[in-house]
């Protein structure tokens, strides 16, 4: 049975002590989902979940004394799926890589050992680290390895970030096949929260579920060539997606009730192209963080939409029947209508903790408001998104040798991002986070709806260097919807 699969964490030996924390998800139930929900939709979803052998447990590695060294072996592997197996790309044999837990000020070293058939690389999405250290142009050839060193600054906001390959032309295939993992930056508020809540990581993706190895010496099928082409036109345009949403590699996790603690979940949308609207059938859902760190205070929400690449941190308060976290896939065309049936992401038991009152006393944060009246941006840029079959930024496709956008270190810039295409594009900037006009908190992905615009203000207060701004529909990124930005 798959629920007896032990998770192994590969840790480099060395002078640095690496603590191997037992997974924060270690009390995910391995039994089926018990459900007493009424309503047809709930029933059929529960039955679907009930046939799945559940593990849903991610391993986790924590920094000690300011440092952490991690080894990630990227390989094509067979992983359990229902009663069978499927092919995936894995880090250390797992369908989602180990959760990396660090603190502001830590030094994190990640060695990527590339056992794949094709080149790969690594990007720490959302981390405020230098573009030289988080360099998206590095290529790790098959059979070789590379060690990234990240000096996480003291001013890094605590929150949920993630890592994934960033190899031009192959990113969509590698991320959608399973190469991703969470990076959690923790501070003292997390220590306090941990006395009241659980702290679990849910990584959602929607891989192709293939029974025979799609990457071994075959040249048929849907492959991105090294030149970044080779997918069919439709996939290049709408992005790839798989038949079902998987959470930590399985179809819907079941979280065992912990009557002492409230269920706190960090959700990563690692899907290559799908936006997900999350709703909760229980009593109440609170949002603690957007993708760029904590909100000013916990906020009661009815739903939260995660574009590809986005994260959120939520607390779920069950009703007397427990509750289910449901994801609805949304189309990136037109108005963003629901597509496919709603899918269960996680089920929590009725006995989970309910005392949400205490959370407000744990943190009241004072996020700077870049849209406050007194803030006058140092510069304004208009960024246009054009085309349809092969969308562009400012009329250009990605060219690693040209600088498309320039900004000055130490400034705040306003960007007006105009989308002249019929599709929504979740636009992502490396290294520097920003605020979106009319939205709360800090972000690193902003979704610009078709034929509309969004205003963002970016804090360029530290780091110089060159990195990228791109669409997080990864087939768009791979086919050139990516611009080079230089900050000096």
Spatial contact of 63 and 103, defined as CB atoms under 8 Å apart: yes
Spatial contact of 144 and 114, defined as CB atoms under 8 Å apart: yes
CA pair distance 103, 183, nearest whole angstrom: 10
| Under rule CB under 6 A, residue 428 binds ligand C2O | yes
Q: Which of residues 86-145 bind Cu ion (CB under 5 A)?
A: 125
Minimum Å gap between C-beta 109 and ligand C2O is 20
Helical segments of 332-463, H only? 357-362
Cβ neighbours of residue 39 closer than 8 Å, sequence gap 6 or more: none
Going through 99-189 in order, the beta strands assigned E by DSSP cover: 99-102, 107-114, 123-125, 145-151, 159-164, 181-185
Query: Which stretch, 210-218, 249-257, 330-338, 468-476, contacts ligand C2O (CB under 6 A)?
Result: 468-476
Nearest by Cα to 342 from 361, 360, 329, 323? 329
Q: Which of residues 293-312 bind ligand C2O (CB under 6 A)?
A: 309
Minimum Å gap between C-beta 469 and ligand C2O is 9
| Interface mask toward ligand C2O for 145-164; x: CB under 6 A | -------------------x
Query: Which stretch, 286-294, 377-385, 414-422, 466-474, contacts ligand C2O (CB under 6 A)?
Result: 466-474
Instruction: Choose from Cu ion, ligand C2O, none: what does 470 bind? Cβ within 5-8 Å by kind.
Output: ligand C2O
Nearest by Cα to 265 from 178, 177, 352? 352
Task: Give the residue nearest to ligand C2O (CB).
Answer: 125
Minimum Å gap between C-beta 175 and ligand C2O is 8
Spatial contact of 409 and 464, defined as CB atoms under 8 Å apart: yes
CA pair distance 237, 287, nearest whole angstrom: 32
| Under rule CB under 6 A, residue 123 binds ligand C2O | yes
Q: Which of residues 158-197 bind ligand C2O (CB under 6 A)?
A: 164, 166
410: tokens are: 């130490």
Q: Binder to Cu ion among 476, 483, 485, 487 (CB under 5 A)?
A: 476
| Under rule CB under 5 A, residue 471 binds Cu ion | yes
Query: Which stretch, 45-53, 221-229, 384-392, 467-475, contacts ligand C2O (CB under 6 A)?
Result: 467-475
DSSP annotation of 64: B
Going through 17-97 in order, the beta strands assigned E by DSSP cover: 60-62, 67-81, 84-91
CB atoms within 10 A of CB 131: 20
Closest CB to Cu ion among residues 250, 474: 474
Look up tokens 């699969």; give the residue.
Answer: 5
Instruction: Choose from ligand C2O, Cu ion, none: what does 311 bind? Cβ within 5-8 Å by kind.
Output: none
Q: Binder to ligand C2O among 205, 470, 473, 485 (CB under 6 A)?
A: 470
Minimum Å gap between C-beta 270 and ligand C2O is 9
CA pair distance 333, 421, nearest whole angstrom: 9
Per CB under 6 A, residues contacting ligand C2O are 123, 125, 164, 166, 309, 428, 430, 468, 470, 472
- Residues at the contact surface with Cu ion, assessed by CB under 5 A: 125, 425, 430, 471, 473, 476
């Amino acid at each position: 049975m798959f629920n007896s699969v032990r998770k192994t964490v590969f840790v480099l030996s060395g002078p640095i002590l690496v603590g191997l924390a037992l997974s924060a998800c270690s009390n995910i139930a391995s039994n089926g989902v018990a459900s007493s929900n009424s309503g047809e939709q709930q029933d059929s979803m529960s039955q679907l979940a009930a046939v799945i052998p559940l593990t849903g447990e991610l391993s986790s590695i924590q920094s000690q004394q300011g440092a952490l060294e991690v080894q990630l072996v990227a390989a094509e592997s067979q992983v359990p799926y229902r009663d069978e197996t499927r092919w995936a790309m894995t880090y250390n044999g797992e369908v989602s890589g180990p959760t990396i837990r660090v603190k502001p000020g830590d030094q994190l070293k990640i060695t990527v050992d590339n056992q794949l058939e094709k080149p790969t690389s690594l990007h720490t999405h959302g981390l405020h680290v230098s573009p030289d250290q988080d360099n998206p142009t590095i290529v790790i050839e098959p059979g070789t390895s590379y060690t990234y060193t990240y000096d996480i600054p003291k001013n890094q906001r605590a929150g949920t970030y993630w890592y994934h390959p960033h190899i031009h032309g192959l990113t969509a295939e590698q991320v959608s096949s399973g190469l991703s993992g969470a990076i959690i930056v923790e501070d003292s508020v997390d220590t306090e929260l941990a006395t009241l809540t659980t702290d679990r990581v849910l990584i959602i993706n929607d891989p192709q579920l293939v029974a025979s190895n799609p990457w071994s010496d075959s040249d048929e099928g849907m492959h991105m060539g090294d030149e970044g082409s080779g997918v069919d036109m439709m996939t290049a345009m709408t992005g790839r997606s798989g038949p079902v949403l998987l959470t930590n590699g399985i179809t819907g996790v079941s979280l065992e009730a912990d009557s002492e603690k409230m269920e706190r979940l960090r959700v990563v949308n690692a899907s290559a192209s799908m936006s997900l609207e999350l709703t909760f059938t229980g009593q109440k859902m609170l949002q603690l963080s957007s993708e760029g760190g904590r909100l000013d205070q916990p906020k009661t929400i009815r739903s939260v939409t995660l574009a590809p690449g986005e994260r959120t941190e939520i607390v779920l308060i069950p009703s007397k029947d427990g509750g289910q976290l449901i994801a609805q896939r949304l189309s990136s065309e037109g108005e963003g209508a629901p597509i496919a049936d709603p899918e269960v992401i996680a089920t929590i038991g009725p006995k989970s903790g309910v005392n949400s009152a205490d959370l407000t006393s744990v943190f009241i944060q004072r996020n700077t408001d870049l849209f406050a009246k007194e803030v006058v941006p140092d510069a304004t840029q208009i960024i246009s998104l054009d085309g349809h079959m092969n969308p562009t930024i400012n009329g250009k496709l990605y060219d690693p040798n040209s600088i498309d956008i320039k900004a000055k270190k130490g400034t705040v810039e306003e960007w007006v991002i105009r989308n002249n295409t019929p599709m929504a594009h979740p636009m992502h900037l490396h290294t520097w986070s920003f605020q979106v006009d009319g939205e709360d908190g800090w972000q690193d992905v902003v979704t610009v709806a078709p034929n509309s615009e969004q205003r963002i203000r970016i804090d360029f207060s530290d780091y110089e260097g060159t990195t990228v701004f791109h669409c997080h529909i990864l087939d768009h990124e791979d086919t050139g919807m990516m611009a080079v930005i230089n900050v000096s």
